Structure 1
Amino acid sequence: MKLNEIRDNPGAVKERMRVGRGIGSGKGKTGGRGVKGQKSRSGVSIKAFEGGQMPIYRRVPKRGFNNPGARDLNEVNIGRVQQAVDAGKLDASNPVTIEALVAAGVCSRVRDGVKILGVGELKAKLTFEVVAASKSARAAIEAAGGAVKASDDAVAQA
């Protein structure tokens, strides 16, 4: 076999249907587009156009509020933090920050910070430097001998 003899297997490549090439081709005259009208022509853009009627996306009332100032926080349970400490991925002597959690594989990326939630059990004495912590998480951390330094505390006191 030579390089110039290399071919695809028979039937591996199917010839494309050339439309609009006479009635004998099976795709002649209208070329598979039906008949008449805007949709039978090329360059059509009428996705939401309803023939002059008010489109549904404008008829339907809008609800709710999209807060532009909302923070996108990582939510981490104390049980997951304890797993990372047990696995040796988190050092109990250093404060637990979002960067430390990302390095340990607890969070995938930094986002706007981290909020600690109280699901699970915490045995290690840890210091948390986070954006926020729930009341149950705070209680569990302080019961284990740790401390929480949350940036929401400064906002709440001001």
Structure 2
Amino acid sequence: MSLRAHTVQPKKDSKPDSKRVGRGVGSGKGVYCGRGIKGQRARSGGKSGTLYIGMKDDIMRLPKLGGFKSPNEEKGVVNVNRIEAKFEDGEEITPWSLEEKGLISQPKKGVKILAEGEISTAVIVKNCDYSSKAKEKIENAGGEVNPNE
């Protein structure tokens, strides 16, 4: 189909311009402009208040919220026994490899490796925080912890 002045159409799913009111009787929205005749709702500022009154019960049922959200993001936590189950000898452990194996969900926040359980696989841990006992267990199993530091 060629593009000509009579073939141009509005974009699919676009909203048509809203009807302007008060522009003459022939427009279909003249005189009362869709407000009816007299009464509070016909006046300017007349419809306010009803929304709040209708919702007041719902608003009152909401709990008061206290406290704050900490700006310090919490790191993911992984124990050495879970590393033992998911990783082979010589594999590198990074926040992204832990995400791939399903042990953490947000690698950008960081990871801390803790010492719960036992580990016998020699793994190489990079870019992760760790407890002193976890480091000890990984090194006793023949692995390395942050070798480039």
TM-score by length of 2: 0.52
**Letter of the structure 1 residue corresponding to residue 92 of structure 2:** P
Describe the SS at the equivalent of 1:130: coil
Q: Is the 8 A contact 2:93 2:125 kept in 1?
A: yes
**Letter of the structure 2 residue corresponding to residue 42 of structure 1:** T
Offset, 1:111: 4.0
- Looking at structure 1, the residues matched to 147 and 106 of structure 2 have their Cα atoms a distance apart, in angstroms, of 19
Q: Is the 8 A contact 1:130 1:150 kept in 2?
A: no
Offset, 1:81: 0.4
- Looking at structure 1, the residues matched to 70 and 147 of structure 2 have their Cα atoms a distance apart, in angstroms, of 22
Offset, 1:150: 8.7
Identical-residue share of aligned pairs (%)? 26
Gaps of 5+ in 1: 1-40, 49-56, 86-90
Runs of 4+ in 1 over 6 A off after TM superposition: none
Describe the SS at the equivalent of 2:74: coil
Q: 1:102 aligns with which of 99, 114, 131?
A: 99
Count of residue correspondences: 95
1:42 aligns with 2:46: no
Describe the SS at the equivalent of 2:86: helix
**Letter of the structure 2 residue corresponding to residue 76 of structure 1:** V
Offset, 1:136: 1.2
Q: Is the 8 A contact 2:94 2:128 kept in 1?
A: no
Q: 2:85 aligns with which of 83, 86, 91?
A: 83
Offset, 1:106: 2.0
TM-score by length of 1: 0.49
1:142 aligns with 2:144: no
